[in-house]
Amino acid sequence: MKNRLHVLIPVILITLTAILVGLHFLFEIIPSEVLFGARWITLLSLVFYCIKKRSLTTWILFSIILGAVLGYDYPNFAKSLHPLSQGFIRLVKTIVGPILFATLVYGIAGHSDLKQVGRMAWKSLAYFYSATTIALLIGLAAINITQAGRGVDTSNIPQHQLPDKSSAIAEADKAELAELPENVQWIFKTTAFFRDVFPENIIKSMHENKVLQIVVFAVVFGIGLALVDEKKRKPLVDLTESLAETMFKYTNIIMYFAPIGVGAAMAYTVGHMGIEILKNLIMLLLTLYGALIVFLTCVLLPIALYMKVPIRQFVDALKEPVSIAFATTSSDAALPKVMSNMEDFGVPRRIVSFVVPTGYSFNLDGTTLYLSLASIFVAQAAGMDLSFGQQLLICLTLMITSKGVAAVPRASLIILIATADQFGLPVIIIAAILGIDELMDMARTSVNVIGNCLASVVVAKWEGEFDQEKALNYEAE
């Protein structure tokens, strides 16, 4: 019995606190001081549990709860913690460029099997576009069923500072777009997307964390290195292998700071946003979460079962990177752990290093679903009746223009604003979404990470290189 006290005490306290909150919500009979005390006593019991558990993932999850309570009870103090979360994300971003470059180059040149790279490319893209198309349709169906945008009181739109939609278009492109008729501007924007996947300076691309540009450079560099004779190729291959191993160790060190970073991120989110603003937009939030759950259970789970992925071990491998992505709303912050955990789960490094970074640009399941849902919400809130064809055209445009935004928190908002303006949707209504965008960003970013983890396993299975025994024996640290 004593051995289970660290589990039993928190469970009892969480249950009692939930009952008190429920009674207060229904009857408003519980004094605020009692609720305050219940919250913090429960948190102290969770500290006891975390000490006994000795798990980094447990501490990360605890820090998320602590951050939420801090944000609710002490909003000004919570907002002052924002630099801690920014510092953690900066620290993690230093990993992205080197780890992508090293793992991709070693994965391609280290084995010199260019045919396999080609196979992985078309298999990955086929999977990515199938998954994102299904996500788009689920988002469309969800918002049309719930009609969450109908009846929104636009007079209560929070006056937040919206991102400038012009920031989604390069300054040099604005002059060219101004000279083109509106009916062909979409062609220019589409071709500009393909132009922008090529880096003009790889150091600049790494500095700005342009994931797709780093991937393109690393793939071409790796192919070039693979074509060099063995004597001249070996030193660079050994260097990239050593760099990759070092960056994974570097990641392990940085992750010890994760509870501080993600806790501060959650505290800032709740403290900055508050709870009251959810009243007008709770239906949109529930629609998104419901649609994402449908996508996870009706699309990703059947794929995992069909491919005979060991679900319990796969969930263990996902816990830490998904919790980081959820709290920081940045796929970048979760990238190192995604790559190391998937390799430990049985996916060969050369497949992980190709599929996951590519998925960060092309396999945005959560973001695609969110954009399709949010764009129609804007139209509904404005009282615009769009045909299914018009809705589909808007969503297809969003699917193309959203490539590469998963790693950057809130970048999808800029894409949404730019596309809304292009199709004549009232941009000002997006300010209503901004109030809860951080909560929605948490969910969609988490689904992006889950989708990319599963994609790496699926491609490894297709290649016949997945280590099933390693996956079955996987245990989270």
Q: What is the DSSP string of 31-43?
A: -HHHHHHHHHHHH
Number of residues that make up the chain = 477
Helices (H) and strands (E) in the chain, counts: 23, 0
User: What is the band of 418 on the pLDDT scale with cuts at 50, 70, 90?
Assistant: low
152 DSSP 8-state letter? -
Task: Identify which has the larger pLDDT, 39 or 401.
Answer: 39
Could you give the CA distance from residue 90 to residue 413 in angstroms, rounded to a whole number?
21
> What pTM, to 2 d.p., does this model score?
0.67
Per-residue b or e along 342-358, where b marks 16 or more CB atoms closer than 10 Å to that residue's CB? bbbbbbbbbbbbbbbbb
pLDDT of residue 114: 62
Could you give the CA distance from residue 452 to residue 365 in angstroms, rounded to a whole number?
9
Could you give the CA distance from residue 265 to residue 377 in angstroms, rounded to a whole number?
27
Q: Please, which residues have CB within 8 angstroms of residue 347's CB and are 6 or more apart in sequence?
A: 456, 457, 460, 466, 467
pLDDT in tens, 42-52: 888 888 888 88
Above pLDDT 90, what percent of the chain? 12
pLDDT of residue 213: 82
Task: Identify which has the larger pLDDT, 134 or 189.
Answer: 134
What is the maximum span of the chain, computed from C-alpha positions, in angstroms? 79
For domain 114-212+277-472, give the CATH superfamily: Sodium:dicarboxylate symporter (1.10.3860.10)
pLDDT in tens, 368-402: 898 888 888 888 877 777 778 788 878 777 776 66
User: What is the band of 354 on the pLDDT scale with cuts at 50, 70, 90?
Assistant: confident
Could you give the CA distance from residue 338 to residue 23 in angstroms, rounded to a whole number?
41
Cβ atoms of residues 460 and 382 within 8 Å: no
pLDDT of residue 194: 78
Query: Does the structure show a pLDDT above 80 at 160?
Result: no
Distance, first Cα to last Cα, the chain: 25
Sequence letter at residue 214: I
pLDDT of residue 422: 65
pLDDT of residue 409: 47
Cβ atoms of residues 252 and 56 within 8 Å: no
pLDDT of residue 408: 45
pLDDT of residue 299: 94
User: What is the band of 103 on the pLDDT scale with cuts at 50, 70, 90?
Assistant: confident
Rg (CA), the chain: 23
Task: Identify which has the larger pLDDT, 6 or 153.
Answer: 6
Domain locations along the chain: 114-212+277-472
30 DSSP 8-state letter? S
CB atoms closer than 10 angstroms to residue 389: 8
User: What is the band of 206 on the pLDDT scale with cuts at 50, 70, 90?
Assistant: confident
Name the token pair of 367. Answer: 């973001």
Cβ atoms of residues 117 and 108 within 8 Å: yes
pLDDT of residue 277: 42
Query: Does the structure show a pLDDT above 60 at 276?
Result: no
